[in-house]
A and B are shown apart, each in its own frame.
Chain A
Amino acid sequence: MSRQMSETDRAARALLGEEARRARTRLALPFALGVAQVTAGIAQAMLIARLIATLLGFGEAGWAELAAAAALAALSAGLGVAQERALTAAGEAAKARLRQAAFSRLLAAGPADERPVGERAALVVDRIEAMEGYLTRWLPAASLAVAGPALVALAAGLADPTSGAILAVAGLLVPVAMAVTGLGAAQASRRQFEALGRLSGRFLDRMRGLPTLVLFRRQDAEAAALSTAATELRRRTMRVLRVAFLSSAAMEVLAAGAIACLAIRHGYVLGAAHPDPVAAIFVLLLVPAFFAPLRAFSMAYHERLSASGAAAELAPLLSAPEAEPGLVLEEMPRRLVVTFTDVRLSYDPTRPPALDGLSFRVLPGETLVLTGPSGAGKSSVLRLLMGFRKPDAGRIALNGQDATLLKPSELRKLCAYVGQRAHLFRGTLRENIRLARPGATDAEVEAAAEAAQVMAFARGLSQGLDTLVGEGGFGLSGGQAQRVAVARAFLRDAPLVLLDEPTAHLDPGTEAEVLDSLRRLCAGRTAIVATHSRAAQRALGRVLEIDGGRAQGARLAAGD
């Protein structure tokens, strides 16, 4: 377990290091602007010290120095604005790249990634934002926290070596204090992110099932459970913060200590016989300037903690290869022979396998109807052919070539697929159908909609095919959503047609019509249809019954 932890830590550190390297050139400008700002602050403190000394009776500074100090104040403010702009620009580029990388890998992982959608979405949205904090706040703050105080301590040392030494010692103790207090923080931070992810996942899960909860009158109980989850999140977050704040408190101790030491040295030890009153005032005025970069660093420290938590979650995802491995189709075959030989697949080692040595063959122009009790493995056959899963053993061949050697996205180019839970994306019906072939003309989309009996209900909608449907297909019945998915398959025009319960949720009249069009869809192509429907079995073709992941009457079904 601890080994695994350190593995994650190493991956997270590697990711952060990689990002820091990439950001280096972009961060040079804001760093230079920050150094200029510190220098302006030092010069201003010198001018003010001379002015105060004049008022105390030493030296002769006047309005010219005051005007110069005012000019420096304006310059410093301007430098601050410029620095912030440069940082924002640097962060944007990094975020866009990271987000794109994370999202494309989530898409490539497909249904095999079983984490709740909310959790996966948090990776692409929240974790990336946490990485920005690391790049644009922590990294520059960290480099300025070294350069800024060093410059200030140097200036103080030139005016009074002992004062310079006091500041230098305080500065050197800061990383020591931070290391001591920050030890447990990284781990606590990761736990906090897990809790946040769980809360997101849980909320999305409950939100989607809100009607179910309301109908069973469990909304209050769920609200109470949500409250418990929020309390847990607070506890975890506070645990992180108690440590993170300790490190900033340690710095306050050092700042207060430095002020007290300098006051005692210049006011009490050297006292009235002070050799250089200007230097006395100067070094005291430098204390806020000395600690400002360190304070900014400390404020940014929890950005780093958040980022290392985020990096630990992102690293496994981002370390996957950018492009899926596999071969690319050389040409689009018009005819496909699908052969399964002794194929095995298991989702969960503690459960019986989904496919347990399944063999069959389907020829071009042939439709194979898979039947069998729910859970028999019908959908698994289709998922394998879609490249959503890889078989554990056995061989899946297309025209005699091993299908698993193809890139999954290439494999899918050969298939038109209608899944069991057809999803309608937010957009119009037309957009939802056109998704299957973005280049399709309006006439082609309408023809597909007609063939899948979508027009039968779309005509009754005030805006026809241009009616907006929500995420999850709000406003359409299950059967209607199914028909939209069938329309996609029509438009797709692929040599292999895979249908998973295409007529579930349909009444017999509509079912007969959809089956009629499905028969036309399957004609001349290779088709595999998983269905319970007797009508579909009668209408579509050769039936292969599977049970427990095997073909029943396997001899017959294995083909010739």
Chain B
Amino acid sequence: MRADLLRLFGLWRDRRGWLAAGAVVATLSALAGIALLTLAGRAVADGVAPAAIFAGGAAAFLWLRPVAVLRPVLRYLDRLVSHAATFRALADTRVWFFRRLAERLPAGVGFRRTGDLLGRLVSDIDALDRVYLGALLPAVAALSVVVAVALVLGAISPLLALMVAAPLALALLLPPLLAPGAAEAGRRVAAAQGSLRAAVVDPLTGIEDTLASGAEGLAAQRVAQEGSTLARAQRLLARRGAWGGAAGSVLTQAAMLGAIAWGLAGGAEVAGVVLGLFLATAAAETLGLMPRAGAALAAAGASARRLFEAADAIPPVTEPAAPAEMPKGFAIRLEDVRFAWSPDRPAVFDGLTLEIPEGARLALLGPSGAGKSSLAALLLKLAAPQGGRILLGDVDIATLPADRLRARIACLTQDARLFDDSIEDNLRIAKPDAEEAALWRALDAAGIGELVRTLPEGLKTRCGEAGLRFSGGQARRLALARVLLSEAPVLILDEPAAGLDPDTERAFLETLAEATAGRSVILITHRLIGVERPTRILRLAGGRALPAMG
């Protein structure tokens, strides 16, 4: 847990100014709090006593009023600054996490449940505010209070200082002592929350299939189950927090009673007792919260752990340490490539050799599962072959940075996704600075320009999540337009005509050659309809590519 928290502070490095400011204000506010009550106690004791018991006479009254004004102001600033600091740090964490996932899981979320991941980013990162707000800041403030109490009372009697400050110091030490035990409880809560969210997201994502199967009851039952698992975990964590709170209140009471016991036992001056009593009473507010910070720290530690676990997934393809120069040409050659998605799955390619000269139009046929999509993954470095090599313009792509490579090869994948933005924004993903005329050209080439023109909001029409506001075929053509808009010299089109009606399919394939003039095209398809005019046709079978006829 410690390693995770330290790594977290590392991520917050850039915000240390804000974070330190929060700690300073919190300390001042806590000190003003104990000063106020102690000054009042001293004033009353001094006032009612028959003879003066404090040196310095009416000094308490002199200080009482400014401190009474300062304390609320400091308290307000304390909360404001500390929250502003936390939110800044958390926003940084959020972005860092997204970048990491893009790097580590470029091929998508796969077995990691998307709902769970969403929970990780939003809840876990939010939970991290407890590290600073719930644990670090109270600890700094409480430490300053304990030191102040020890110094003030130490000047009167070391024994009195010990009797009051020792229980307070113990209350301060409780959180780190309790944290490891609470860590497990915190981990369970965070995990249960993730599972609950996944149990909600999965049936909603496939809502049509959920309803079609009449699986509403099953889904609701699963959610109820995950909900009660979460409740159990939260109960254990709350119980720990409650006991921590009880320990905190007992310890601060012990400090108050300790001061009185010192007086009853004949400890010299009554002034010391009064100071000790009111210092301890005032310190209770700051320190009473400390033991709970242990549970908070543990929960945040668990969130940090899960966050880093996801962020540390091993990237599918390691980046070259010393990247080679990007080649000028864009001819592609595969030499004796061997590949399987995992050791326990059958090999997809077993000695695949293939050549795609610049400007070629290759049609790649084969039954589903023959590895047509795997070939795209290899070319885009979403996966790495176990043997053989892949060359782009005579340079092994293993030596090229994936990002630069992807600037050369654009791909319409089977799961190409439209985002919940406008048509225009979705297209510009391929080329952010594209002119509007270029957008229309791409839409026309994909055979959807006409439809977009009839929409009242035109290019500004929102697509909905996963393009749900369009029919399957329309969404597919928008995704296709996006690929055509990109400037990459090599295009991989994986089933570009899936979901199109035959007339649109024919019209699109007839204009494909024109729309992609000068570029290499790898057309992955189940079958040819005779208008594609490929320069070469290959059929994938048994892990190799064989020349084929239509």
Contact = CB atoms under 8 A, between A and B. Distances in A.
A70 B250 CA distance: 9
A438 B218 contact: yes
14 contacts: A66-B264, A95-B231, A106-B204, A114-B464, A121-B118, A202-B420, A274-B48, A288-B282, A373-B503, A375-B471, A379-B471, A408-B211, A409-B216, A462-B345
Interface in B325-374: 341, 344-346, 365-369, 373
Interface string A411-442: 01101110111111110000000011010000
B264 A457 contact: no
Given A103-B223, A426-B198, A110 B122 contact: no
B56 interface: no
B209 A422 contact: yes
Contact of B238 (A84, A408, A417): A84
A81 B245 CA distance: 8
A474 B111 contact: yes
A504 B498 contact: yes
Contact of B99 (A52, A107, A219): A219
Interface in A155-214: 196, 199-214
A238 to B, nearest CB: 6
A109 B217 CA distance: 14
A114 B410 CA distance: 31
Contacts of A99: 223-224, 227
B413 A215 contact: yes
A374 interface: yes
Interface stretch (A3-11, A19-27, A71-79, A338-346): A71-79
A455 to B, nearest CB: 13
B177 interface: no
A305 B81 CA distance: 20
Most central of B105, B242, B284 by chain A CB within 10 Å: B242
A213 to B, nearest CB: 7
A81 B242 contact: yes
B257 to A, nearest CB: 6
Interface in B406-449: 406-407, 410-411, 413-420, 429-430, 432
Contacts of A479: 368-369
A221 interface: yes
Contacts of A250: 72
Contacts of B261: 66
Given A288-B281, A426-B198, A436 B213 contact: yes
Interface in B95-127: 95, 98-99, 101-103, 105-115, 117-119, 121-123
A226 interface: yes
A259 B60 CA distance: 13
Name the 7 nearest CB pairs between A and B, nearest first.
A423-B206, A374-B473, A267-B47, A230-B91, A219-B102, A252-B72, A507-B526
A460 B79 CA distance: 60
B314 interface: no
A124 B502 contact: no
Interface in B361-391: 365-369, 373, 380, 382
Instruction: Sort chain B's interface into a size bin.
Output: 35 or more
Given A217-B406, A272-B47, A435-B218, 17 more contacts: A209-B417, A222-B98, A223-B99, A227-B91, A266-B48, A267-B60, A268-B61, A288-B281, A373-B501, A386-B208, A409-B216, A470-B111, A470-B113, A471-B114, A501-B472, A504-B498, A507-B526
Given A211-B415, A510-B368, A504 B499 contact: yes
A77 B40 contact: no
Contacts of A267: 40, 43-48, 60-61
A217 B118 contact: no
A241 interface: yes
A245 B83 CA distance: 11
Interface residues of A, number: 169
A316 interface: no
Contact of B499 (A57, A409, A501): A501
Contact of B368 (A205, A220, A281, A505): A505
A420 B67 CA distance: 70
Nearest to A383: B208
A388 B47 contact: no
Contacts of A140: none
B285 interface: yes
Nearest to B244: A81
Contacts of A220: 99
B71 interface: yes
A238 B83 contact: yes
Interface stretch (B138-146, B155-163, B178-186, B269-277): B269-277
A315 B107 CA distance: 39
Nearest to A535: B527
Interface in A266-288: 266-268, 270-272, 274, 277, 280-281, 284-285, 287-288
B109 A208 contact: yes
Interface string A343-381: 000011011100000000000000000011111000100
B201 A471 contact: yes
Contact of B220 (A57, A107, A373, A374): A107
B212 interface: yes
Given A77-B246, A509-B367, A207 B109 contact: yes
A505 B414 contact: yes
B200 A284 contact: no
